[in-house]
Chains A and B, each alone.
Chain A
Amino acid sequence: MASSFAKVMSSRTTGLLMASLGAGAVATGYLLNDNAAVVAEQRRKLYPPSADYPDLRKHNNCMAGAMTPAIYAKLRDKITPNNWTLDQCIQTGVDNPGHPFIKTVGMVAGDEESYEVFAEIFDPVIKDRHNGYDPKTMKHPTDLDASKIHSGVFDENYVLSSRVRTGRSIRGLTLPPACSRSERREVERVTVQALAGLKGDLSGHYYSLTEMTEQEQQRLIDDHFLFDKPVSPLLTCAFMARDWPDARGIWHNNEKTFLIWINEEDHTRVISMEKGGNMKRVFERFCRGLKQVEHLIQERGWEFMWNERLGYILTCPSNLGTGLRAGVHVRLPKLSKDPRFGKILDNLRLQKRGTGGVDTAAVGDTFDISNLDRLGKSEVELVQVVVDGVNYLIECEKRLEKGQDIKIPAPIQHFKK
């Protein structure tokens, strides 16, 4: 046994420690050395990128599709200014090979700079996920002028509720996979302070997850507002559930039509909704609320993460651009049974989900219909796509009710290349 070890532990002499470890000079060289660069170099020699290259043979996610040994070798030793690494970006994709039919993204950003420092992997992943959008050459349009929406009030015999959601990140603080407790608490402080400045129909109240009473908790569950600690391994493997429930909370206005989640999967998730089919009003409140919150944080010297190439910066590449999902719960008993339903949705650039959210099955004949795309089209454009699309679906339903035939619409062009 290494009985000399005890003596070494108290003396802490570099040389003795290295010798007593009984490991080769190169292996232990990395352990204690005043010269950081030499240390790093020795470690790199011992474990070249090929030694760490993940086994992605059974994987089916965007990251695994884009990753190559060459890209990994180039990026493995890089760090963002906040010391976030490639391995940390891709851990969730390595740990979750994916489903043969559902293609997950398989990587996350730890901070705004991740998308730059690791562009060699993020760009192809973004291209894959967002229909060929090329961050190197294209610009993303942002437009939050709700007045541009037309025909945005649906037939309430079919549309039960309308909802628009997005996310916003606070520039200067790292994202949920990477943030420390103090950063997360700062996100909470900045956001809650801003929300306290909202007035009129937007004035509301914050419910911190750590301080919530049982009564408040039950009420928020009944309102379907409460979010839980993530259980999805896609999120937990991306380090997003650390320190739960510290600095997490829910804010909503008194009318329960404007809701903010703080420090769940993104710094903030912003949701505007109401019963019925007035999508225009929902979107109008959404834009108004977002602009007011942005103004309020700017007063204190903060701003949202945004750039020309990628639009609003969020944790998951799938939410870049607008981060916007605008949707309705709509009854389509006849249309949903028509074999052309899927194709019609595809061409309208819409997706269907069950009313329990992503990956749930539809209950009865009621579907959650929302936009497929996030990046490359503005908020106004995407909401108009949903408005036009849902109106078309209702038209089809009405025609089928009357025994008339329906047509598959021509496919909408996604974005101007």
Chain B
Amino acid sequence: MGSKHRGSDPKDCYLFSHTDRRKSAIMTKNCNNAYKLKFAVEEEYPDLSQHNNHMAKVLTKDIYNKLRSKETPSGFTLDDCIQTGVDNPGHPFIMTVGCVAGDEESYEVFKELFDPIISDRHGGYKPTDKHKTDLNFENLKGGDDLDPNYVLSSRVRTGRSIKGFTLPPTNSRGERRAVEKLSIEALNSLDGEFKGKYYPLKDMTDKEQEQLIADHFLFDKPVSPLLLAAGMARDWPDARGIWHNDNKTFLVWVNEEDHLRVISMQKGGNMKEVFKRFCVGLQKIEDVFKKHNHGFMWNEHLGFVLTCPSNLGTGLRGGVHVKLPKLSTHAKFEEILTRLRLQKRGTGGVDTASVGGVFDISNADRLGSSEVQQVQLVVDGVKLMVEMEKKLEKGESIDAMIPAQK
């Protein structure tokens, strides 16, 4: 065994023992931080002059200098966090985050970078704030009476990271496979309305693939440069897969952008039922992971820890596809959405346009409010907007209905 190593000199990367013979690599994506520290900060500091993302706004040369010698216990470095933001300057109108976490500890080790980004992205959330988690579906009021003539479908999704494994930007094949193995065990233990089947991307038959595409369940190898530059498509499709229950109302993605993405959905407007299934299913899955001493990554400050800072807190997007042809052309539509703390998307997902007056309406917040609170906003907000739509159909004014800022 190598001798004890105090690691006080940043140039002596603690990952390696002293003698050349015993040098060994930890399986991280980027293991050469100790080597890079030989170079001056001015030379390593990225050129962010053309950039418009959260990371670029926050990362001064001073912060870069302070954090560049640090590594998380698994060897994830500052450069690893920010590579995606350096490679993708961003869009003048869309503000992307521009950095990712490689493991649970990233948010702590690189606090000086993540805290201001989190504050910027999540409405001023402070480093001392506490996030409330509430997955008690019984706390949701109403939500079972959204008019199905307008609300075509309801859906709640979130992500979960498994403790003890590094995240998609940096995990090794061995780790990814271990996450898959645990996930399969957890999911196969489900019964009743949750009973289902796992489809690994690697071994899918053509027939299975066609069915999953027809059901709109299949996820593809990422093409977005935001994800590719963060290293998330490595070794595709190894250890990636889709699980869904026989009823096709509960779906789990394994090893896509997060360890797990969990989705509950159904046609019509019964968000209450969707949310109940979501909460119950999540709890059952978590119990199995906990049994193996690999619970979900969570803490009091950030809630559920996920790869992208934008998904911290609840990681929850609860939404509906709803017909609002008249309301969506009303002058105050955007204002109403903002006040209700909701956002709109086209029915093809983020950044698509609406088709036939049908919009995807979902909660805008993720961190600083609980799951119940966020889904409540969706339920109450959509109910109000459907009533507004009906009023507009009758030629009546909706001015009196416009809500105060929530």
Give residues in A with beta carbon < 8 Å to B.
1-3, 5-6, 9, 21-24, 27-28, 30-32, 34-41, 43-44, 47, 51-55, 76-79, 82-85, 87-88, 91, 94-95, 174, 178, 180-183, 185-186, 210, 236-237, 241-244, 246
Q: How does the 8 Å CB contact mask read for B21-33 relative to A, with 1 for contact and 0 for none?
A: 0111111010111
CB distance from B12 to the nearest CB of A (A): 9
| Set A27, A174, A237: member contacting B164, Cβ < 8 A | A27
24 A-B pairs, CB-CB below 8 angstroms? Answer: A2-B298, A6-B300, A9-B108, A22-B295, A27-B164, A30-B73, A31-B73, A34-B6, A35-B4, A35-B5, A36-B17, A39-B14, A40-B16, A41-B1, A79-B23, A82-B32, A83-B32, A83-B35, A85-B27, A87-B172, A95-B234, A185-B43, A242-B86, A243-B86
**B83 in contact with A36 (CB, 8 Å):** no
**B27 in contact with A87 (CB, 8 Å):** yes
In the complex, what residues of B have CB within 8 A of residue A185's CB?
43
CB distance from B58 to the nearest CB of A (A): 18
Q: How does the 8 Å CB contact mask read for B82-99 relative to A, with 1 for contact and 0 for none?
A: 010011000000000000
**A43 in contact with B235 (CB, 8 Å):** no
Which residue of chain B lies nearest to A84 when distances are taken between CB atoms in the complex? Answer: B32
Q: How many angstroms from the CA of A91 to the CA of B172 in the assembled complex?
A: 11
Known: A1-B133, A5-B300, A210-B47. Is A77-B7 also a contact (CB below 8 A)?
A: no
- Select the residue from B5, B34, B79 with max chain A CB neighbours within 10 A: B5
| Set A76, A178, A237, A242: member contacting B25, Cβ < 8 A | A76
| Set A22, A31, A52: member contacting B174, Cβ < 8 A | A52
Q: How many angstroms from the CA of A273 to the CA of B173 in the assembled complex?
A: 45
**B172 in contact with A52 (CB, 8 Å):** yes
**A34 in contact with B173 (CB, 8 Å):** no
**B4 in contact with A34 (CB, 8 Å):** yes
Q: How many residues of B contact A (CB 8 A)?
A: 66
| Set B13, B27, B133, B290: member contacting A52, Cβ < 8 A | B27
**A5 in contact with B299 (CB, 8 Å):** yes
Known: A22-B294, A182-B39. Is A94-B31 also a contact (CB below 8 A)?
A: no
Q: Which of B290-314 contact A (CB under 8 A)?
A: 290, 293-295, 298-301
Which residue of chain B lies nearest to A46 when distances are taken between CB atoms in the complex? Answer: B174
CB distance from A75 to the nearest CB of B (A): 10
Known: A76-B25, A181-B46. Is A35-B74 also a contact (CB below 8 A)?
A: no
Q: How many angstroms from the CA of A242 to the CA of B83 in the assembled complex?
A: 7
Q: Which of B41-66 contact A (CB under 8 A)?
A: 43-47
In the complex, what residues of A have CB within 8 A of residue B233's CB?
95
In the complex, what residues of B have CB within 8 A of residue A23's CB?
163-164, 293-294
CB distance from A349 to the nearest CB of B (A): 37
Q: How does the 8 Å CB contact mask read for B121-155 relative to A, with 1 for contact and 0 for none?
A: 00000000010010000000000000000000000
